[in-house]
Each structure stands twice: as C-alpha cells, then as structure tokens.
Amino acid sequence: MKLNHIIQRLESDYPPSLAEDWDNPGLQTGHWEQDIHKIYVALDASDEVLEHCVDWKADLLLTHHPLLISGIKQINDRDLHGRKILKMAENHLSHFAMHTNYDVAKMGRLCSDYLKMTDLEILEITGTDTGLADGDKKQAIPVGIGTAGTLPECMTLRECCEYVKQAFSLNSVQVFGSLDSKVSRAALCPGSGKSLIPLALAKKADVYITGDVGHHDGLDAAEQGMAVIDAGHYGLEHVFIPQMEQYLKTVFPELEIGTEPIRAPFEVL
C-alpha cells in the first residue's frame, strides 16, 4: 500500500486541522509514494525505537510525538535529530506523527475510558469540528484537550492513586494533597498538563490527573483545594500504542503491525 493512501486515512480520522498551532504532526520523513508493508507503532522516535524498526525491517514508524517540533538547520551525524533522520533515510524508514490532533480527536476520551469516568466534558476547548446532527444539517461541535467528569465512585485520594496506577499499569505516581481526602470529580489531561491547572480548578475537580507537574504548581493546586496526581507524561499517553495497533489492524488488515513494548523510558530508584 502506498504511504500517501495510509496518510489520507489517518488524516481523515485524526485531522491535522485539530492540532495546536505550535505543533508539527504529519509526515516527518519519507517518500509519499513509498510502498508500505510493515508499520511500527511507538510513542517517541527514540534511538531505541529506531533500532527496533530497523531490526524488524519496518517501512513506516508511526508515533504520537513528532521527531521535529522546532526547525532544524543542518542534517548531519553530529546532531541528535540529524542522526535520526539519516538513519531513517539509510534504512528507507518513513516517519509519521499524530500529536495534538490525536489528543483532541481521541486521547482525552480514551484515557477517561480507562478510568471509567462519566458525565464527560472538555477540559480545554481548542476549536470546533463539523459533525452531522439533525439529519443532514451540519453543526460545529466544540473539541479540545483533556476531560472533566465523574469517577465511578467516591474514594479517598490514596485509593484514587492506586486506581490510576492499576488502570494504566504504573508502578508509582506523585501526588499533591491529603491522602485521606475524598475525591469523586476528576479532571484529566494526558501528557504535560500543568498549564491547564486553572481550568481543572474552574471545573471544580477534586483531583487533577496529568503529567509533568512542577513542585510549586502541585503545591499551589493542593492549597486551592484540588489534589493532583502526576502519573507522568509517558504514564498516561502510552495508551496510544495499543489503541493505534488495534485501529491499524482494523483499517489496514493487509499490513503487518508491530509495536514498541510498553515500558517507561526512565527508572524510579
């Protein structure tokens, strides 16, 4: 199957128009007319992932995070990103990324489903999408990042930490707030979500579940009455891998799909 046909389907279901202005989803490297037989799915285009792609003889690496967010002026083997681009080119490996467009289209609700949250609403509205409602009448539907909603039952913050760990198969989380406090309403932002703390507070969340929360941000949120569970950037977003694997097997049954093992890219000692 030609790469451009695969991209057309991906961009139909996860429109790049949903991405944030600063983001860079799409084809990072490769030939649009390349024949694709094997797709490898990962969260990041790390050196280790590239080695796995080469060993598996993948034609396309599909990641959540783009290889390139800001510009690059030189492509050579003395630059981190340059080395990766050269390695991809030398091994005829294309790289396609779906980042904040995937976050808007799928990630927030996907993670909410892992936690069995109900009564969902968007945490940060970033734009609108055109859907069909009332027969053939088109209607602009708000879309955005993250969710707010109700946990399946009221629980202590300590219990909620264990619940998040179990749902996302995590060994640990960082928590700000009283472990004995009761929580039932949650806000959720997979990935890096400290900038949305004011919106989580505005949604009257008892607990905010996200990643990359700074020391002072967590303390300030807790002092305003909202606990914070920092499950890590990878900790929530790794669900991209199994979801995308299932999606690709459904829409491209003729292609071979491989996946990066679910493993945090760091150790807690």
**Interval 24-33 mean pLDDT:** 97
The rounded mean pLDDT for the chain is 95
Q: Do 115 and 188 contact (CB within 8 A), yes or no?
A: yes
Q: Any residues with CB less than 8 A from the CB of 110 and at least 6 apart, and which?
A: 239, 243
Q: How far apart are the first and last CA of the chain?
A: 45
**Number of other CB atoms surrounding residue 139 within 10 Å:** 11
Q: Answer yes or no: is pLDDT of 133 > 80.
A: no
**Interval 157-161 mean pLDDT:** 98
Domains 3-101+238-259 and 108-234 share a fold: yes
CA distances from 130 to 15, 104, 143 (A): 11, 14, 10
Phi, psi of 112 (to 5 degrees): -65, -35
**Interval 95-121 mean pLDDT:** 98
The fold of 108-234 is 3.40.1390
Ordered DSSP codes for the chain: -BHHHHHHHHHHHS-GGGS-TT---EEEES-TT-B--EEEEESS--HHHHHHHHHHT-SEEEESS-S-SS--S--STTSHHHHHHHHHHHTT-EEEE--HHHIIIIIHHHHHHHTT-EEEEEEEEEEEEEEEETTTEEEEEEEEEEEEEEEEEEEEHHHHHHHHHHHTT-S--EEES-TTSEEEEEEEEEEE-GGGHHHHHHTT-SEEEEE---HHHHHHHHHTT-EEEE--HHHHHTTHHHHHHHHHHHH-TTSEEEE-----SS---
Q: Answer yes or no: is pLDDT of 132 > 60.
A: no
Q: Answer yes or no: is pLDDT of 136 > 90.
A: no
pTM metric for this prediction? 0.94
Q: Where are the domains of the chain?
A: 3-101+238-259, 108-234
* pLDDT tier, 51 (very low <50, low <70, confident <90, very high otherwise): very high
- What's the CATH code, domain 3-101+238-259? 3.40.1390.30
pLDDT digits (tens, 9 = 90+) for 185-222: 999 999 999 999 999 999 999 999 999 999 999 999 99
Q: Answer yes or no: is pLDDT of 100 > 50.
A: yes
CA distances from 12 to 5, 8, 200 (A): 11, 6, 30
Percentage of the chain with pLDDT > 70?
A: 97
